[in-house]
Chains A and B, each alone.
Chain A
Amino acid sequence: MVQTVIEMMSHTFIQRAVLVGSLVSLCAALLGVTLVLKRYSMIGDGLSHVGFGVLTIATALGATSPLYIAIPIVAISAIVLLKTGNNGKIKSDSSIALISSSALAAGVAVTSITTGMNTDVCNFMFGSILAMNEGDVYLSLVISIIVTILFIIYYRKLFLVTFDENFAIASGLKAKRYTSLIAVLTALVIVIGMRMMGVMLISSIIIFPALTSMLVFKSYKKVVISSAIISVISFLIGIYLSYLYNISTGATIVLVNLTIFVLFYIIEKIKNY
């Protein structure tokens, strides 16, 4: 095993993937706890579809750094998703379905007209470990550090807004501002993570670690710490197995997350038996 890891880590693209993937997994898990508890789990899925639409259109139009175009657009979409979900006429799940399918359709339509459904599009859909270039690594590094620092700074307030929004407002907190912050940070993590994980799979690294931790731990702090650990470990095991058996990295990471979830579920059942 050690020999395989040494061999694996001798490749530059794997070094990049391990660095970016670990950071993205950590950030996704931190944000995931709030998103799951606030019942915004599917926002990750919706935003990844928007990300797909923007990235494919930008690539088709010849943009050299499509990530820089995708980041602001997906961040704005995150705010729009929240606003439309709160306006009473269109419910949150419906607005996510509307925006995500429209963005996906736009991406596929533009790609069909221009470059056609090539390997790049396939990589966006299911992820590719080869997709990260040096610029992407630096951008991911900066975004991950920003997300982690902001999460630590606003940890207490995010807890209160998630647990009881009315009490948070009565305490003088601008609750909507923190919900928007979470949505924008999620958008950033989605965009930097989707190239490796894929549009179809990225939301799982947001949801699985939080759900798994909630099965066993009963305090918010423990759930957050456990989610972060589970997420990074799942990623590392996933990328190792993916290299060893030549399976899609994104899919392997999701399956590792699923396995850990099932294990925690069994442990919880045995504990309560």
Chain B
Amino acid sequence: MNLIQIKDLSFDYPTKKETLKHINIDVNQGTFTCIVGENGSGKSTLVKCILGLNKGYTGEIIKPERVGYLPQKSDIQSNFPASIEEVVMSGTIGNNINSIFYKKEDKENAKKIMQELEIYNIRKKCFADLSGGQQQRVLIARALCATKKIIILDEPTNGLDPTIAIQIYKLLDTLKKNDNITILMVSHDVERALKYADNVIELVNGEISFSGKPSDYKIGGDN
């Protein structure tokens, strides 16, 4: 079953012509899809179109109403005074947008997710004081609070120690296998992406140059 369908998507920034050109992608439920490509190839732009952050594209994007999202590290203020619990709970806001306070079921759901991701015992700690890997765990927990159907991650292992990066990939793999969560990830870390992803999509200058199984993809080769 297709969870995300992108049909003939094209997008231009006002200052740059044809950032994305005629993109067609199907993301099936319970799969791990990785979008790879050089810097400036249009990976993050594509994610922002899917999330509704970039308006004015042509074509069609069919996606679930709720999508979990993990932004690039640079989008988060490094010294923001917020506890882990506050950050994770904020993921539930979209589920009860008109409510003034958090609902009991949202609190219980967030607790369960924090326990699953082994951050419950440190929930009162400041987000800014955590290591890069722990921060990503917290942001994955927040994304899962929004929905347990699909999470979209924009360069989640950027700037992380290789050992920590592997832990993040393993965590995503476990979430996919145990909870049937669909994962759509943007990364320039091609080698590790090929190891864990079910499908790979490569973007070159805003166009899809490869879409298929990791085993068919040639790193640095002519795909």
- How far apart are the CA atoms of A213 and B82 in the complex, in Å? 12
User: What residue in chain A is nearest B14 (Cβ atoms)?
Assistant: A88
Q: Does B121 contact A (CB under 8 A)?
A: no
Size of the B side of the interface (Cβ < 8 Å), in residues, is 31
- How far apart are the CA atoms of A90 and B34 in the complex, in Å? 37
Q: Does A68 contact B (CB under 8 A)?
A: no
Q: Does B128 contact A (CB under 8 A)?
A: yes
- How far apart are the CA atoms of A220 and B93 in the complex, in Å? 16
Contact yes or no, B82 A220, CB < 8 A = yes
Instruction: Please encode chain B, from 66 to 87, with 1 for each CB lying within 8 Å of some chain A CB and 0 for all others.
Output: 0101010001110011110011
**Which of B3-11, B23-31, B96-104, B190-198 contacts the other chain?**
B96-104
Contact yes or no, A171 B93, CB < 8 A = yes
Size of the A side of the interface (Cβ < 8 Å), in residues, is 28
Contact yes or no, B83 A218, CB < 8 A = yes
Q: Does A156 contact B (CB under 8 A)?
A: yes
Contact yes or no, B126 A218, CB < 8 A = yes
Contact yes or no, A172 B100, CB < 8 A = no
Contacts of B97 in A (CB 8 A): 171-173
- Give which listed residue, A171, A173, A219, contacts B81 with CB less than 8 A: A219
Smallest beta-carbon distance A99→chain B, Å: 24
Contact yes or no, B81 A223, CB < 8 A = yes
Q: Does B211 contact A (CB under 8 A)?
A: no
A residues in contact (CB < 8 Å) with B? 37, 152-153, 155-157, 159-160, 162-164, 166-173, 213-214, 217-223
Q: List 23 A-B contacts (CB under 8 A).
A: A37-B80, A37-B81, A156-B93, A156-B100, A159-B86, A163-B76, A163-B80, A163-B87, A164-B71, A164-B76, A166-B53, A166-B71, A166-B75, A167-B71, A167-B142, A170-B67, A173-B93, A173-B97, A213-B81, A214-B81, A219-B126, A220-B80, A222-B81
